[in-house]
Structure 1
Amino acid sequence: MVQPGKLAFDEDNFPYIDLGTVRMCMDRQEAPDWALEVARKELRETPDIMKESFAKINQLLDEEKHLIVPREETYLKIYLRPAHYYPESAIKRIKNFFNTKIKHPEACRDLLPSKLKHVFDADVLQLLPVRDQHGRRMITIHAGKKWKPSQVPLIDLFRGVQVMIWGAMIEPLSQICGGLVIIDMEDLSMTQIMQFTPSFAAMLLDYIQECICLRLKAVHIVNNSYIFNILFNIFKPFIKEKLRKRLHFHGKDFKSLHKHIDKSCLPAKYEGTASWEMPHSSLTYELFHWYEADYEKAETYGFTEEYKKKK
């Protein structure tokens, strides 16, 4: 019998955390048929287009002599699916993704779960154990009083987010359906706000809007009060129209949140009706840490050392 709240393994040897009524896991298996139909309709994922796109992106990668990434179709789908199988768009995103690691090594390198255990132990990043009604992966970031910058520096909080984003990027179901973020600003104070600078905001928004290869469908800000406007004004100049349309500010009006995310997918904290309670993010860490070797391998991809020296 599996002990609740402990790492266990299913019949296919995939790890999961038993939360009683649900299992929290990473969906590494191929996407189900209903999601593949979504991919066909929304992402142009048909045999002919896929064949043409794989050939073209490999050709484009051949031209990038200093860029080292796997050529397996499973890996290339990470970039082609969010780009709707347009190879030129995908290669641009790949280059942006790895160039960011060069431009901001202190923030975007060495992204291993084991290096960021303190972030998850602080319970400021949570992987919700279920997806929303559209199959989207859901992540919660606590940037209010729960976040103690003295224990978790802002740069480490961002690195922890990247660990979670990469975990979603390699899930076939998330590649198709995308993801959403809930940012909880409960009791935000100047202690947290003072950590942010325009340069950090510019880096973060560049990462979100130009680099990550995940269909970010929505960002929901909850428990935000008037003081949040001070923080938002730092980010506002860097937000492009596409992301602006996907930002939703709810304050403490969770009925507003429920218009976007079904109540059955949310815990009681957000006035949802889910049968599970929000798991402590130390459990999220256990899950991601099991895939540590995959993160180590991912760190070897990107531009060559020769290219980095030229930059």
Structure 2
Amino acid sequence: MSIKRNEKDYPYIDLGDGYTIYVQADEYTDPVLKAKAERELNETPENVTNAMSELRELLRAETTLFVPVESDAFLVKFLRACLYDARKAFQMIQYTYRLKAKSKEYYENTPNPSSIRHVFDEGMIWFMPERDTDGAALCVVEVGKKWNTSKVSIIELIAAIRLCVEAALLDPETQLHGMKVIFDTDGLSMSQIAQNSPKHARMILDWVQKASPFRMQGIHVVNNSMIFNILFAIFKPFISKELREKISFHNKDWNSLTKLISPACLRPKYGGTLAAPEYEGRLLGDYLQLYDKYFDTLDAYGYDESAERRSK
């Protein structure tokens, strides 16, 4: 297993046996994908042009907000998430950076993968090498036995998930198909639940529901015991009806899980048939660190708070 680069110099993890993990890719040109984008996202050449133009006008008028207005790649991920409704995309961008401004503790010390390298080394977060049959990317987050709260704080865990999602969105196909997340709570303890609070729950769900331009296609909780109900009670008041409909609880019922995610994408421990070699968390850490400069650039975007104070 190693990190390699393709002909366009994009890095990827070579797991062997033909399995790879990557986040960066070019815009899709496959007619099947373009047809899906038109059907599900309203992505037509005319809509793209008009929405880009309108969104740029709205952002230019927001004079205290610093974002790359001329970058198609930056704007399109918000437009795709909002089905090319420029005003909704503008509101999402506003909310994204308002949230960043009012929740500094979740951003300031965790701007890039290097800043939370130890989280990846613990092996708590995994990108899966195969997409589901609907094209959705898959990510596994283990918040039970592998979460050593003396090494990884809840804020660092939130940051690691946030950075992984941002990295995944470098792939236009993931913007199109969306993501599915498996939360494995095997071994969840009261000390881990104590790390959570309504404040942390509100931050996580505000980011997922209002401030992250990805299409959440499903949240699947596995190995959930009675103690998980305590944790879920913290989150429940902040979960929208739309998101609640995308959450499934499977415990150890792998037949239930494989009805919603293809077994070909899942490891045998989740009832799947995926034969891809497992990899160590440090390898994902090595890989994501290659994108530190990209994340440092993203971290610089936001509201100019001093300018906002002057304008009031």
TM-score clears 0.5: yes
Q: Which residue of 2 aligns with 1:244?
A: 244
The gaps in structure 2 that reach 5 residues or longer are none
Q: State the identity %.
A: 35
Match of 1:29 among 16, 19, 26: 26
Describe the shift of the 1:222–1:307 C-alpha distance in structure 2 as closer, same or farther (beyond 3 A).
farther
| Letter of the 1:82 counterpart | A
Question: What is the TM-score when the length of structure 2 is the normalising length?
Answer: 0.95
SS of match in other structure, 2:16 = coil
Distance 1:298 1:81 in 2: 19
| Letter of the 2:27 counterpart | E
Task: Determine if the alignment matches structure 1 residue 12 to structure 2 residue 8.
Answer: yes
SS of match in other structure, 1:256 = helix
SS of match in other structure, 2:180 = strand
**Residue-by-residue CA offset, 1:79-137 (whole Å, 9 max, x unaligned):** 10000000010000001111111111110234201001000011111111222111112
Distance 2:104 2:41 in 1: 32
Query: Between Structure 1 and Structure 2, how many residues are aligned?
Result: 307
Q: Which residue of 1 aligns with 2:89?
A: 90
Describe the shift of the 1:137–1:26 C-alpha distance in structure 2 as closer, same or farther (beyond 3 A).
same
Q: Which residue of 2 aligns with 1:158?
A: 158
Q: Which residue of 2 aligns with 1:47?
A: 45
In the TM superposition, 1:85-124 aligns within 5 A as 85-109=84-108, 110-124=110-124
Distance 1:133 1:27 in 2: 20
SS of match in other structure, 1:275 = coil
| Letter of the 2:8 counterpart | D
In the TM superposition, 1:249-288 aligns within 5 A as 249-288=249-288
Question: What is the TM-score when the length of structure 1 is the normalising length?
Answer: 0.95
Offset of 1:308 from its aligned partner? 6.3
Q: Which residue of 2 aligns with 1:303?
A: 303
The gaps in structure 1 that reach 5 residues or longer are none
Cα contact 2:181–2:218 (8 A) shared by 1: yes
Q: Which residue of 2 aligns with 1:222?
A: 222
**Residue-by-residue CA offset, 1:252-308 (whole Å, 9 max, x unaligned):** 011111011100011122121112133222221122111111111111112124246
Q: Which residue of 1 aligns with 2:75?
A: 76
Distance 1:172 1:44 in 2: 15
SS of match in other structure, 1:249 = strand
Distance 1:262 1:143 in 2: 23
| Letter of the 1:123 counterpart | G
| Letter of the 2:25 counterpart | R
Cα contact 1:93–1:210 (8 A) shared by 2: yes
Offset of 1:36 from its aligned partner? 2.1
Distance 2:308 2:141 in 1: 32
In the TM superposition, 1:161-176 aligns within 5 A as 161-176=161-176
Q: Which residue of 2 aligns with 1:139?
A: 139
Cα contact 1:130–1:138 (8 A) shared by 2: yes
SS of match in other structure, 2:183 = strand
Distance 2:49 2:216 in 1: 26
Greater CA deviation, 91-100 or 11-20? Answer: 11-20
Cα contact 1:123–1:281 (8 A) shared by 2: yes
Describe the shift of the 1:308–1:23 C-alpha distance in structure 2 as closer, same or farther (beyond 3 A).
farther
Q: Which residue of 2 aligns with 1:289?
A: 289
Cα contact 2:180–2:219 (8 A) shared by 1: yes
- Alpha-carbon RMSD: 1.5
After superposing on structure 2, the runs of 4+ consecutive aligned residues of structure 1 that deviate more than 3 Å are: 307-311
Cα contact 2:16–2:277 (8 A) shared by 1: no
Distance 1:199 1:297 in 2: 27
Cα contact 1:27–1:173 (8 A) shared by 2: no
| Letter of the 2:186 counterpart | E
Cα contact 2:180–2:216 (8 A) shared by 1: yes
Cα contact 2:101–2:302 (8 A) shared by 1: no
Cα contact 2:144–2:187 (8 A) shared by 1: yes
SS of match in other structure, 1:272 = coil
